[in-house]
Amino acid sequence: MIVLYMTMSLDGYVVGPDDSVEQPMGRGGFRLFNWLDDRNSDGPSGQVYREAQATGAVIAGRRTFEHAGRWNGDHHDGVPIFVLTHKIDANDVPPGSARFVTDVAECAAQAKAAAGDRNVLVHGAGAGQSLLQAGLLDELELHVVPVLLGQGRPLFANLPTTPIELEQTRQLPARDVTHLHYRVVK
């Protein structure tokens, strides 16, 4: 399964305004990650965090990859990282297990093969939108934080006009966040 794991504000932003490599979450955006203070707990936030860490590969958008400092080549446990990008510069060699891929279907196929029987974790609004548009995203795990950022980078900005149906499979309220899990109806 290819699963988008994203934290977002109630008004749909995944980072605050003016995000950059120097300010990766934009102004006020780090507020979205307060729930990670409970990632080692036995509660809902610990549960979804452990699920994300049990994935066998990562697909990330180029912007997310760069803003995260390329995760120093290791998102978690040395799993392969597939960076969906528009172009590849021959002189730009990503660190660790990361590799650049320009085709969304090829990126998904490589990540699924690398993950084996484990899920593929997707990070990034652009990557999530591309996978949704291509019909390659299976599930969404959204961590909705009770804050209105008002502006920033929206998670679902560039979707097709044809509705994408979702089936909610789980709702886990926790301190500072509600974890919502959806299956993409295909």
pTM: 0.95
- Each residue's pLDDT, cut to its tens digit, for the chain (186 residues) gives 999 999 999 999 999 999 999 999 999 999 999 999 999 999 999 999 999 999 999 999 999 999 999 999 899 999 999 999 999 998 999 999 999 999 999 999 999 999 999 999 999 999 999 999 999 999 999 999 999 999 999 999 888 788 999 999 999 999 999 999 999 999
Give the span between the Cα atoms of 148 and 71, in whole angstroms.
Answer: 27
| CA angle at 12 for the pair 11 and 15, rounded to the nearest 5° | 110
What does DSSP assign to residue 138?
-
Cα dihedral 84, 161, 25, 112 sign:
negative
Q: What is the DSSP string of 84-116?
A: E-S---TT-PPSTTEEEE--HHHHHHHHHHHHT
Q: Which two tokens stand for residue 157?
A: 């900005």
